[in-house]
Amino acid sequence: MTDSMKNEGFKPGHELHIWHRDGKYILIDGHIHRHCAMKAGLTSVPCIIHHFETLDEAKKYAIYEQTNRRNLSEGGLCSRS
């Protein structure tokens, strides 16, 4: 994934999901994409800002997104170079 980002940039449809809470921005989904983007040297990535009412609502969203992702059981998605 890191090499792909170096060559092609951040692909649409893989935005980071951010919760805007009390003036802070909290990453709730997209941790691996963020990590690989940083390793690839990207300085900005697309994000979707969410305005959840409660921590429980944010957690439910993150769990839903992660359990419905096809690559959930795959390991080592970022190159380790």
pLDDT of residue 80: 45
The rounded mean pLDDT for the chain is 85
Q: Does this model's pTM top 0.95?
A: no
Spell out the domain ranges in the chain.
2-67
Which of 32, 38, 43 lies closest to 65, judged by CA? 32
Which of 4, 5, 2, 13 lies closest to 48, judged by CA? 13
Classified by CATH at the fold level, domain 2-67 comes out as 3.90.1530
Residue 79 has pLDDT above 70, yes or no: no
Q: Six-digit token pair at 33?
A: 């994409």
For the sheet with 16-21, list strands across it. 24-29, 16-21, 47-50
Which tens digit of pLDDT belongs to each residue from 41-72? 999 999 999 999 999 999 999 988 888 765 54
pLDDT of residue 71: 53
